[in-house]
């Protein structure tokens, strides 16, 4: 990312020689990349789980700061400051998350004689409390959403306030963000359970279980303004980003500029954002977030926007702003932290084209976006270009841990307009391949292709409103996919045969051939059976030399294949195309024509005498920590009753009773660690009348 020529005087401040990056994953790699370009050396910190992580390899040196749990490593401010001093770093860049919005940490960094690459502690404190932030904004004349931001945190008091506001209400963590500690409450009798869950998540994520309440707007736009300020009184905004498309109150698609944004509204919201930053003596990168009624973006009711919060750090989605402005915001951060003036005046900041970012997560959209934990055994993406950025902190072979956020990468595309950017995003998603964990790639492909997103009809309820189209019923694998999977197996058989032949005393023996004439079958065909969603799909393979005839879906297909690792060049009758098949145990993952299909290769000789698990055994849907056990042995429960709460990656997941019955066995207690598939609770069937 090239900076435009500096039009301000940089005669103040001296650039750092070395900085410590107090973070991990893609943002640590991102900061290291800009620092290297600027000639600034970098120091990584790592937990025991991250000793071999990409961000460690991306920096010039690295220091261990503790065990895998974040509170014992990346949230240990003393250990991080000690590492900075030991390394000779002059500044600490906190990235986002972890300690990035911790005012006490920022103050401790300054007390240690180091520079915190971020705003002053006072500004962090002012905006770190959502309640205090709303009070400040209201005094400054910025409209805020109706709600309760007071200090009385008794459960009964909060319930009374929710009743007064009127349902639906939104419970939000007093500190922090990212959807942690947030719950929508639709009715009075659901408030207590939601409050308890929000408090626990807030405490786990931010060490503060206080909450505030807001009136929940049902179909709003989430539009944020990127602001930047220096220590000399300069303050600008770098336009807006639309972050309306969310799941679990967390963003998954962000774009700039906001679709439908008018120049008049942009000027009004930009001025409000700059005023908000100046009101708290801000320095560095920040984001002022507004909630906007959908109908207001087109120009109607131009003043209908409400302050939500201010994030006193660099945002995950900052690359879309960089793509439309041609600026490197990490460089801006380092320069302003070093005492320099802002590189550009407001009128000199360009706005060109359109950019969209898609977050690739290790999660299962079909199971309410539960995190997926495991080792990445295959990872491939389209090569980066001037139109495509791939921001990642993992490589093939790396593990997605239960301790940290499950984001794998960010795909960021740019085009001269939104139509071109959308096309490039679809291409980038089609070329993104991950095996080893479940991902949201296929879901994102459906999402960006959906008419509502494609036409810019955005709001925070988009996914829920179009759930039927975005979560379609599973369909049988196509004949082409089954043919590709069968040909990949054939290629593996041939390779194995070649290896055996080379190692034998008679490499030219016909018994090493894969021609199906020798197979124990009446019609000399090899039958491969692939299963998908419990349905078997047989493919009959007859071979002669390098060619094959496949019987699939009731018809014969003439085929040939060339293989280079996982990459295949396939010919089916008169068509030729590329595909990728990755084998993991009996699983076969097929990537073809931009789609991914999971198959299971059935072994016809395999037989298991094990009985199916009893219907009353409730298994852990993911690895995590038991944070609450809500029932006792012998207790009767109704269908849907909450039984146990698991926490993984700072998000809570409630295990509910699939049917009525009586609790007979509870295998885990609060605080226990459980693996995916662990037998948590046994429910005896309810007696029949």
Higher pLDDT pick, 454 / 129: 454
Q: Shortest CA distance to 322 belongs to which of 262, 241, 385?
A: 241
Q: Which two tokens stand for residue 160?
A: 């009374």
Looking at mean pLDDT, say which of 293-302, 444-453, 495-504, 603-612 comes out highest. Answer: 444-453
pLDDT tens string 178-216: 677 889 999 999 999 999 999 998 888 778 899 999 888
Report pLDDT for 237.
98
Is 617-685 the same fold as 18-125?
no
Q: Which range (38-52, 277-291, 396-410, 491-505) has the least confidence?
A: 491-505
Q: Which two tokens stand for residue 511?
A: 């018994």
In degrees rounded to 5, what are phi and psi of residue 157? -65, -40
Q: Which two tokens stand for residue 72?
A: 């014992």
Report pLDDT for 507.
52
**Average model confidence (pLDDT) for the chain?**
88
Higher pLDDT pick, 467 / 659: 467
Report pLDDT for 522.
43
Rg (CA), the chain: 28
**Rounded average pLDDT over 113-125:** 96
Which residue is it, tokens 């009743």?
Answer: 163
CA 389 remoteness from chain centre: 16
Residue 119 CA to residue 284 CA, distance in Å, equals 6
**CB-side exposure of 514: number of CA atoms within 13 Å?**
21
DSSP symbols for 419-463: HHHHHHHHHHHHT-EEESS--SHHHHHHHHHSHHHHTT---TTHH
Higher pLDDT pick, 574 / 493: 574
**Rounded average pLDDT over 111-140:** 89
In degrees rounded to 5, what are phi and psi of residue 592? -155, 130
Give 605's pLDDT tier (boundaries 50, 70, 90).
Answer: very low
Higher pLDDT pick, 220 / 134: 220
**Rounded average pLDDT over 636-657:** 83
CA 553 remoteness from chain centre: 38
Report pLDDT for 44.
98
Q: Which two tokens stand for residue 628?
A: 């609450």
Report pLDDT for 609.
42
**Rounded average pLDDT over 389-411:** 95
Give 678's pLDDT tier (boundaries 50, 70, 90).
Answer: confident
Report pLDDT for 520.
41
Q: Is the pLDDT of residue 518 over 90?
A: no
Q: How far is CA 641 from CA 109, 152, 182, 660, 683, in A?
A: 47, 30, 21, 8, 12
Kindly give, in sequence order, each residue whose CB lies less than 8 Å from that of residue 436, ignoring residues fewer than 6 positions away. Answer: 374, 375, 376, 377, 378, 584
Report pLDDT for 395.
96
CATH topology of domain 617-685: OB fold (Dihydrolipoamide Acetyltransferase, E2P) (2.40.50)
Kindly provide the b/e burial profile for residues 6-21, where b requires at least 16 CB atoms within 10 angstroms of the residue's own CB.
eebeeeebebbebbbb
- Say if domain 146-215 classifies as CATH 1.10.3720.10: no
Report pLDDT for 224.
97
Q: Length of the chain, please?
A: 689
The count of other CB atoms within 10 Å of the CB of residue 121 is 20
Distance in Å from the first CA to the final CA of the chain: 71
Q: Is the pLDDT of residue 262 over 70?
A: yes
Tell me the sheet residues that pair with 309: 289
Which bin fits 461, alpha (ψ -120 to 50), beta or left (φ > 0)? alpha
pLDDT tens string 533-559: 989 999 999 987 778 999 998 899 999
Which residue is it, tokens 């404190």?
Answer: 125
Q: Which helix (H) or strand (E) holds 158?
A: helix 155-165
**CB-side exposure of 380: number of CA atoms within 13 Å?**
15
Identify the CATH assignment for 18-125 out of 3.40.50.2000, 3.40.50.1820, 3.40.50.20, 3.10.20.70.
3.40.50.20
For 558, the 3-state DSSP assignment is strand
Cβ atoms of 625 and 648 within 8 Å: the answer is: yes
Q: Which two tokens stand for residue 275?
A: 């005023």
Kindly provide the b/e burial profile for residues 126-139, where b requires at least 16 CB atoms within 10 angstroms of the residue's own CB.
bbbbbbebbebbee
Report pLDDT for 688.
54
Residue 276 CA to residue 314 CA, distance in Å, equals 16
Give 677's pLDDT tier (boundaries 50, 70, 90).
Answer: confident
Report pLDDT for 204.
81
**Rounded average pLDDT over 294-300:** 53
Q: How far is CA 290 from CA 2, 243, 326, in A?
A: 29, 10, 24
pLDDT tens string 464-475: 999 999 999 989
Residue 320 CA to residue 412 CA, distance in Å, equals 7
**Rounded average pLDDT over 481-499:** 84
Cβ atoms of 495 and 488 within 8 Å: the answer is: no
Q: Which two tokens stand for residue 27?
A: 């943002």
Q: Which two tokens stand for residue 607?
A: 């037989």
Would you name the residues annotated as active-site residues?
Answer: 313
Report pLDDT for 1.
45
For 617, the 3-state DSSP assignment is strand
Looking at mean pLDDT, say which of 10-24, 320-334, 520-534, 663-677 comes out highest. Answer: 320-334
The count of other CB atoms within 10 Å of the CB of residue 185 is 22
Report the alpha-carbon angle 402-408-409, nearest 5. 155
| Per-residue DSSP letter, 518 | G
Give 502's pLDDT tier (boundaries 50, 70, 90).
Answer: low
Residue 252 CA to residue 595 CA, distance in Å, equals 20
Specify the long-range contacts of residues 243-248, CB closer than 8 Å, at least 24 apart: 243/289, 243/317, 244/220, 244/458, 244/459, 244/460, 244/462, 245/447, 245/453, 245/458, 245/460, 245/462, 245/463, 246/179, 246/222, 246/460, 246/463, 247/365, 247/369, 247/463, 248/179, 248/369, 248/651
Give 604's pLDDT tier (boundaries 50, 70, 90).
Answer: low
Q: Is the pLDDT of residue 425 over 90?
A: yes
Report pLDDT for 303.
58
Burial (Cβ within 10 Å: 0-12, 13-18, ≥19) of residue 669: exposed
Cβ atoms of 211 and 195 within 8 Å: the answer is: yes
Identify the CATH assignment for 479-602 out of 1.10.1740, 3.30.700, 3.30.379, 3.30.70.
3.30.700
Cβ atoms of 626 and 644 within 8 Å: the answer is: yes
Alpha helices (runs of H) in 17-154, residue ranges in sequence order: 25-38, 54-58, 77-87, 103-111, 121-128, 130-139
Report pLDDT for 490.
87
| Per-residue DSSP letter, 110 | H
Give 298's pLDDT tier (boundaries 50, 70, 90).
Answer: very low
Report pLDDT for 684.
87
Report pLDDT for 524.
58
Kindly provide the b/e burial profile for residues 270-281, where b requires at least 16 CB atoms within 10 angstroms of the residue's own CB.
bebbbbbbebbe
Residue 120 CA to residue 283 CA, distance in Å, equals 7
Residue 648 CA to residue 651 CA, distance in Å, equals 5
Q: Which helix (H) or strand (E) holds 467?
A: helix 467-470
Q: What is the 3-state secondary structure (H, E, C) of 252-317?
A: EEEEECCCCCCHHHHHHHHHHHHHHHHHCCCCEEEEEEEEEEHHHCCCCCCCCCEEEEEECCCCCC
CA 401 remoteness from chain centre: 13
Domain ranges in the chain are: 18-125, 146-215, 359-457, 479-602, 617-685
According to CATH, what is the number of the domain 359-457? Answer: 3.30.470.20
Cβ atoms of 539 and 528 within 8 Å: the answer is: yes
Q: Which two tokens stand for residue 464?
A: 């829920």
Q: Is the pLDDT of residue 517 over 50?
A: no
Query: Sign (positive/negative) of CA torsion 577, 582, 588, 591?
Result: negative
């Amino acid at each position: 990312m090239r900076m435009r020529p500096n039009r301000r005087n940089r005669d103040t401040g001296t650039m750092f020689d070395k900085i410590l990056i107090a973070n991990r994953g893609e943002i640590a790699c991102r900061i290291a990349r800009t620092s290297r370009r600027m000639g600034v050396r970098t120091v990584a910190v790592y937990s025991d789980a991250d000793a071999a992580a990409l961000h460690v390899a991306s920096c010039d040196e690295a220091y261990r700061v503790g065990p895998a749990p974040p509170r014992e490593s990346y949230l240990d401010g003393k250990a991080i400051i000690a590492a900075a001093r030991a390394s000779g770093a002059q500044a600490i860049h906190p990235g986002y998350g972890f300690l990035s919005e911790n005012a006490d940490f920022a103050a401790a960094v300054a007390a240690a004689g180091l520079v915190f690459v971020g705003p002053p502690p006072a500004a962090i404190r002012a905006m770190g409390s959502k309640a205090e932030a709303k009070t400040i904004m209201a005094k400054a004349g910025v409209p805020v959403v109706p709600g309760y931001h007071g200090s009385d945190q008794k459960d009964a008091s909060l319930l009374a306030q929710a009743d007064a506001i009127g349902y639906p209400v939104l419970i939000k963590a007093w500190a922090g963000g990212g959807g942690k500690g947030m719950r929508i409450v639709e009715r009075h009798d659901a408030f207590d359970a939601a409050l308890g869950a929000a408090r626990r998540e807030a405490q786990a994520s931010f060490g503060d279980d206080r909450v505030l309440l807001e009136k929940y707007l049902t179909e709003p736009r989430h539009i944020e303004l990127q602001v930047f300020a220096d220590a000399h009184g300069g303050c600008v905004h770098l336009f807006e980003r639309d972050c309306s498309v969310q799941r679990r109150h967390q963003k998954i698609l962000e774009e700039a500029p906001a679709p439908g944004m008018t120049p008049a509204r942009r000027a009004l919201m930009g001025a409000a954002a700059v005023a908000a930053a100046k009101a708290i003596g801000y320095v560095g990168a920040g984001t002022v977030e507004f909630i906007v009624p959908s109908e207001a973006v087109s120009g109607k009711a131009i003043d209908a926007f409400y302050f939500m919060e201010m994030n006193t750090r660099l945002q995950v989605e900052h690359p879309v702003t960089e793509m439309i402005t041609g600026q490197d915001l990490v460089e801006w951060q380092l320069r302003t932290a070093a005492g320099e003036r802002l590189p550009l005046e407001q009128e000199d900041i360009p706005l060109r084209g359109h950019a969209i970012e898609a977050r690739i997560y290790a999660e299962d959209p079909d199971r309410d976006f539960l995190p997926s934990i495991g080792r990445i055994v295959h990872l491939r993406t389209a090569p980066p270009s001037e139109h495509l950025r791939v921001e990642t902190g993992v490589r093939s072979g790396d593990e997605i841990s239960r301790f940290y956020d499950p984001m794998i990468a960010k795909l960021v595309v740019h085009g001269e307009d939104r139509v071109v950017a959308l096309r490039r995003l679809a291409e980038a998603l089609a070329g993104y391949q991950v095996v080893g964990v479940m991902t949201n790639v296929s879901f994102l492909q459906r999402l960006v292709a959906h008419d509502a997103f494609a036409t810019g009809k955005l709001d925070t309820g988009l996914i829920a409103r179009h759930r039927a189209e975005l979560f379609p019923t599973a369909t049988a694998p196509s004949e082409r996919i089954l043919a590709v999977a069968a040909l990949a197996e054939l290629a593996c058989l041939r390779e194995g045969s070649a290896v055996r032949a080379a190692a034998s005393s008679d490499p030219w023996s016909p018994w090493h051939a894969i021609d199906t004439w020798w197979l124990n079958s009446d019609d000399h065909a090899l039958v491969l059976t692939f299963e998908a969603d419990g349905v078997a799909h047989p493919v009959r393979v007859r071979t002669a030399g390098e060619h094959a005839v496949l019987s699939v879906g009731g018809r014969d297909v003439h085929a040939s294949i060339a293989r280079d690792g996982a990459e295949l060049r396939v010919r089916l009758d008169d068509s030729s195309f590329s595909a990728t098949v990755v084998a993991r145990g009996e699983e076969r993952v097929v990537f073809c024509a931009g789609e991914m299909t999971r198959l299971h290769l059935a072994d016809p000789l395999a037989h298991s005498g094990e009985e199916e698990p009893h219907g009353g055994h409730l298994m852990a849907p993911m690895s995590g920590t038991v944070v609450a056990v809500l029932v006792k042995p012998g207790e009767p429960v109704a269908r849907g009753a909450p039984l146990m709460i698991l926490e993984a990656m700072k998000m809570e997941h409630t295990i509910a009773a699939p049917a009525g019955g009586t609790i007979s066995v509870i295998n885990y207690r609060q605080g226990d660690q459980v693996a995916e598939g662990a037998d948590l609770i046994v429910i005896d069937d309810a007696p029949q009348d």
